[in-house]
Structure 1
Amino acid sequence: MDSIAYTAPDGSAGTLIIASDMEPVARFFRKFVPAVLLALLGALTLTNGVLTYLVSRSIVKPLYALKAAAGQIRVGELDRPVRLRRQDEIGQLGSAFEEMRVRLKDSIDAGLQLERNRKEMLASISHDLKTPITAIQGCAECLRDGIADTEEQRQKYVTMILGKTAGMNRMIEDLLLYSTLDIGRLPFRFERLDIAAYMREAVEELRLDPRMNGVRLDYDNAAARPLYVQADREKLHRAVLNVVDNSLKHMEREPRMLRFELLAPDTGSTGSIALRITDNGSGIPEDALPHVFDRFFRAEPARRSDDGSSGLGLAIVKQIVEEHGGTVQALRAPVQGTSIVIRLPAGDEEAANEQRGGRS
């Protein structure tokens, strides 16, 4: 109830009393305030639930995925990729985690492959050494038991023993060289080399080799000019000899021929000098060509260590050529036989001119 001072028209003073009933207002508040509070509480609950779901989906769930991936890696399971498909910080974390998984898997696979290679190498060495050792043992027993009762027979057995031991020595040398190259501990002494003159001298040296009796040797420098590469003289010579040795093993028909060709890089080419060594031997089957540079690979399964081969000759060639920054490839010759093509990076012309000036 409110009172207001009031002056009547006739000038008399009075008081105006206003009385109001607040019960409807009170009823309104008693009815609607709880509903409003419940609505606000429901909205807060819904908002909290939605936010919790979104946070769980965007943060907690990816973290659980990373946790599960870490658990798989811990037990050695590395085949399941981690793909979060996000561009934010968590996505970057997932990408780093996936890169770590891939590198770890590659490292473990490389270790397992190395262990398999070692086991295969030991098995191959054991097999290849067994035949000459058995032959040496048989010859020694014959000499001990007096079966070789003449000087001629004794010399025959001694010669056989010497031949087998020489073959075993070559096999062991090849194995040591291959292992040293494989672990990268063989030093290379590179120099700028005129490979045209180098190969001309190498072919002339081969003409004096007794193993080349009856073999026609041809040399052709298609460029008819000096060709320069960065090479280690000794290692490159070993690679060429290994290719020659491999060709000699397969040249069983007359006339025997071995051709050396140097091909200079053409204008606009990749800048490599190709050395092609071609024989007219029995050739290599088409399906075996990609594998001839694998260690212990033999195109003919029947050809074992009794031919003096370690099975590492062409594998050593590949390692030496790759250390020079080049490539090597086996191809079937156009008519008959096999071509081994060694490609080496060509030296720059300016440095070649400097070397020619220094020698003049």
Structure 2
Amino acid sequence: MKLLRSIDTISGKLMIRFTIIILVTLFILAISLSYLFQNYYYGSTEKKFIDQGNKIAALLQRSLYEGNYDETLFFLRDSQRFFEGNVWIVDSKGLILVTTQQKELQGVRLNKNEVKQVFQGKIVKKRGFSYYFGEPVLFVAVPINFANKVVGAVFVYSPLAGIGSTLNDLRRLVLYAALIAIILTLILSFTLSKSFSRPLKRMQKISLNMAHGDFDERVVIESEDEVGQLAQSFNYLADKLQETIASLQEKEEQQRRFVADVSHELRTPLTSIQGFVKALRDGVYESEQDKEEYYQIILSEVKRLIRLVNDLLDLSQIELGQIKMEMEILDLKGIIKNSIRNLMPKIKDKELRIVIELADDLPLVFADRDRIEQVLINLISNAIDFTPQGETIKVISKREDDEVLVMIKDTGPGIPVEELNNIWNRFHKVDKARTRDRGGTGLGLSIVREIIRHHQGEVWVESELGKGSTFIFSLLVADK
């Protein structure tokens, strides 16, 4: 079972395929080499025999023509040690005059069919079984010509068994080379398949860990090929998943806090309303003046609930993009002055002095009139709430590069450094008790931030404890 599992892996499949390919290649190569070498060896041997036959024929042609067979016999026996193969000398009648081997064949007359072609002046080549030797042989027959007449023939031959042993040695050599190649192939294919499968197995392990919530591990990139690119993409995916999950967890935590904050903000006025309604129902008040005061408190808390619900709806719609911004070219000076004019009763109640410093060359901006006015009212209203009675609020606006900056500066208590990033969160209040007394919902700065973001601008705060705060936002210049 373990062997089957290892074969069923990518590395096992790759190794098997590599081995099969190499084996098939070596098999075809061995057969091809054997066939080619056999043909080459036979052809080379035949050529040698023909050359040798021609030389012997040139030396014997006169003596054979003159019938001097003793001289022929003496030459052949004296020279046989220099011959490549065995030699027969045949006269014009097909009679074997002399041989270098098998002396018993001397005097034997060859079949006419065997000598017909050679006595027609042709060189004959043959491979196969020989009646005279009882085994396969390779032989050539070269005519001996003299005075334009065939006077005999030289037969040069060699048993194929001797040639076959050489070919067997070659086949054995190819077999040994194939075995060595197979061993090397197994080693290389194992190493190569492991190099392919190792990062894939690592990805599998890490993906299982990711499924159980562990996103810390990454695949080590060992190459720049397709597997390396896959590992790089896997790591990128893991990073993005980790970021997405972290973001979702953060949003989930924010949602839980939001629900808790909304519940708290709703519970306080509802509890107050419930208490005073119950007191009015039960007649628990001392005078008509107390009764009227109870009604005023209930009305105030209802208005506060309405503001809270309206702010929540505004913030939700802005975040979801459900409120379409009516963007147009605007004169920011007029919007600033109009916003301050709307807040003048509140400014006079606290006997505050407001200073407006608008640059003479203040350019037009591209914005939604109502939403920018909402931003200004929120920020100026906050400045009014936190500025001590009789102090000064400054509203400053100037151009900076391709943006217009608007600054609302108060002389209030300032914001602690650790709170500067938190004030933009929903329901966050630096001083919860004082904010509740002023009727704030804790959503104003969140709404401001979302509106400015939809205008492709930025909003931030600079503050120093005991000296006040400056809220700044930017808008794009219309002629950008």
Q: When the two structures are superposed, what TM-score results if normalisation uses the length of structure 2?
A: 0.62
CA shift for structure 1 position 82: 3.6
Aligned to 2:456: 325
Determine helix, strand or coil for the equivalent of 1:263.
strand
Letter in 1 for 2:189: T
Aligned to 2:302: 165
Aligned to 1:259: 394
Contact 2:415 2:430 in 1 (8 A): yes
Contact 1:318 1:328 in 2 (8 A): yes
Aligned to 1:314: 445
Contact 1:131 1:306 in 2 (8 A): no
Contact 1:293 1:318 in 2 (8 A): yes
Q: Where in structure 2 are the equivalents of 1:154-303 lying within 5 Å?
A: 154-209=291-346, 212-221=349-358, 223-251=359-387, 253-265=388-400, 269=401, 271-300=402-431, 303=434
Determine helix, strand or coil for the equivalent of 2:186.
helix
CA shift for structure 1 position 196: 2.1
Letter in 1 for 2:279: C
Letter in 1 for 2:372: L
% identity of equivalent residues: 25
| Higher relative contact order (Cα pairs below 8 Å, separated by 6+ residues) | 1
Change (3 A) 1:85 1:231: farther
Contact 2:404 2:474 in 1 (8 A): yes
CA shift for structure 1 position 36: 4.0
Determine helix, strand or coil for the equivalent of 1:291.
coil
Determine helix, strand or coil for the equivalent of 2:343.
helix
Aligned to 2:125: none
Aligned to 1:339: 470
Mapped partners of 2:392, 2:336: distance in 1: 17
| Bigger mean CA deviation after superposition, 133-142 or 277-286 | 133-142
Determine helix, strand or coil for the equivalent of 2:421.
helix
Change (3 A) 1:313 1:211: farther
CA shift for structure 1 position 51: 2.6
* Aligned residue pair count: 339
Mapped partners of 2:427, 2:466: distance in 1: 27
Aligned to 1:50: 187
Letter in 2 for 1:241: I
Determine helix, strand or coil for the equivalent of 1:344.
strand
Mapped partners of 1:134, 1:274: distance in 2: 43
* Deviations 1:110-143, CA, capped at 9 Å, x for gaps: 3333222211101011112222222222212222
Change (3 A) 1:32 1:303: farther
Mapped partners of 1:106, 1:209: distance in 2: 46
Aligned to 2:196: 59
Determine helix, strand or coil for the equivalent of 1:181.
helix
* Deviations 1:7-37, CA, capped at 9 Å, x for gaps: 69998433324469x9xx99x9799779846
Letter in 2 for 1:279: D
CA shift for structure 1 position 74: 4.6
CA shift for structure 1 position 301: 5.6
Where structure 2 has 5 or more consecutive residues not aligned to the other structure, the ranges are: 1-51, 81-99, 102-158
Letter in 2 for 1:282: P
Mapped partners of 2:382, 2:341: distance in 1: 19
1:136 matches 2:273: yes
Contact 2:327 2:368 in 1 (8 A): yes
Letter in 2 for 1:200: K
Change (3 A) 1:249 1:213: closer
Aligned to 2:257: 120
Determine helix, strand or coil for the equivalent of 1:290.
coil
* Deviations 1:94-113, CA, capped at 9 Å, x for gaps: 33333333333333333333
Change (3 A) 1:8 1:243: closer
CA shift for structure 1 position 62: 3.2
Determine helix, strand or coil for the equivalent of 1:242.
helix
Mapped partners of 1:181, 1:81: distance in 2: 39
Mapped partners of 1:304, 1:197: distance in 2: 30
Letter in 2 for 1:237: E
Contact 1:257 1:279 in 2 (8 A): yes
CA shift for structure 1 position 310: 1.6
Mapped partners of 1:183, 1:101: distance in 2: 28
1:152 matches 2:283: no
Contact 1:259 1:279 in 2 (8 A): yes
Q: Which has the larger radius of gyration?
A: 2
Mapped partners of 1:337, 1:146: distance in 2: 47
CA shift for structure 1 position 238: 1.0
Mapped partners of 1:85, 1:205: distance in 2: 68
CA shift for structure 1 position 66: 3.6
| Bigger mean CA deviation after superposition, 138-147 or 161-170 | 138-147
Change (3 A) 1:305 1:83: farther
Mapped partners of 1:116, 1:213: distance in 2: 40
Change (3 A) 1:146 1:8: closer
Mapped partners of 2:411, 2:347: distance in 1: 19
CA shift for structure 1 position 210: 6.7
* Deviations 1:189-213, CA, capped at 9 Å, x for gaps: 0111111232123223332457754
Mapped partners of 2:465, 2:475: distance in 1: 23
